[in-house]
Amino acid sequence: MLIAVLSVESRLKFVGASAGSLSLREVGAGLAGGALLAAFGLWRAWSTGSDAEKRRYFLNEDLEWAETVYSAVILASLLMYFLVQAFKIPSGSMESTLRIGDHLFVNKFVYGVRIPFTDKRVLRLKPVKAGDIIVFRFPTEDPEAQHCGGSQFGKDFIKRVVAVGGDTLEVRGGVLVRNGEVLGKEPFTQFLDSYRGDPPALAPPPALYQELWQGGQLDLKLGDTMKDHFGPVKVPAGAYFMMGDNRDRSCDSRFWGPVAEKYVKGKAWVIYWPPNRMGAI
């Protein structure tokens, strides 16, 4: 148990945006650590005592201890991989819903349990829907891709789903429009800046615009102008449009494209720290 907790807590403290993510490699590391503890127990049993009877006593005692430790490590590792993930909010992109430094748990089974080494899920309780706050792996397989000021490959992000597959989304002078309907009361329609930027002088034609957006290349063409003037684009089937509630301070799907289902990790569930922020999300 201690090994799994240390793995998560160390990431929460030092890694930031990818904090709390437990990979198969880390699960394996936890199991290996448990095996080392068990081996230490056996060595201690053999090296303690001067006769066979004492060694037999310590061996039985330490075998039981090693079995308990290893079982706890296995259970904790499986729980962290399949069911719950700890996460620390690294930026202000979700304020005021989530604040910098909030520690929360992510429900990893509500959208289905992922089969290891595949993109398939089983036992899905509910689908992802607009309004859900979810944690996902940044949608790229290219470690060299540059977005939001650097490479985001392999990092975990947390945003709100504002559109799902089949929806059309655009931003008109800072106003969010989904399927032709102006969205005016949701948390993600609020913004801090009173100044709305000018639209790009020369935007790509609609077909190219959609292609660049889906390929995660639109920000390279239009830069920060997309914050207030974006789209329209159609969200592909099996993908989601993510946006921060503090959208004037959010690097999100406007800049790097849709998030495919395979990148989704789970739904933000409950804040557990600090105490004055505890509660369901």
Mean pLDDT of 273-277: 95
Q: From 2.170.190.11, 3.30.230.10, 2.10.109.10, 3.30.930.10, which CATH number describes the 85-280 domain?
A: 2.10.109.10
Whether 259 and 239 have beta carbons less than 8 Å apart is answered as: yes
Q: What is the pLDDT of residue 61?
A: 62
How far is 59 from 264, CA to CA, in rounded Å? Answer: 46
Q: What is the residue-averaged pLDDT of the chain? A: 79
Domain ranges of the chain: 2-82, 85-280
Note the pLDDT of residue 60.
Answer: 63
Task: Clarify whether 194 is annotated catalytic.
Answer: no
Give the gyration radius of the chain's Cα atoms. Answer: 23
Whether the CB-CB separation of 247 and 191 falls below 8 Å is answered with: yes
pLDDT digits (tens, 9 = 90+) for 33-67: 555 555 555 555 555 555 555 555 555 665 676 67
Residue type, 118: T
- Specify the range with the lowest mean pLDDT, choosing from 36-50, 199-213, 234-248, 260-274: 36-50
Q: Any catalytic annotation for residue 93? A: yes
- Distance, in Å, from the CA atom of 65 to the CA atom of 60, rounded to the nearest integer, reads 9
pLDDT digits (tens, 9 = 90+) for 178-216: 999 998 766 665 555 555 566 666 778 999 999 999 999
Residue with token string 């509910």: 126
| Per annotation, catalytic residue among 21, 93, 250, 253 | 93
**Token pair 């891709």 in the structure block, residue:** 145
In the prediction, which pLDDT does 16 show?
36
Selected catalytic residue, list 159, 227, 234, 267:
159
Q: How many CB atoms lie within 10 A of CB 192?
A: 10
Q: What is the pLDDT of residue 198?
A: 66
Q: What is the pLDDT of residues 105-141, one digit of tens each?
A: 999 999 998 888 888 888 889 999 999 999 999 999 9
Specify the pLDDT at position 58.
52
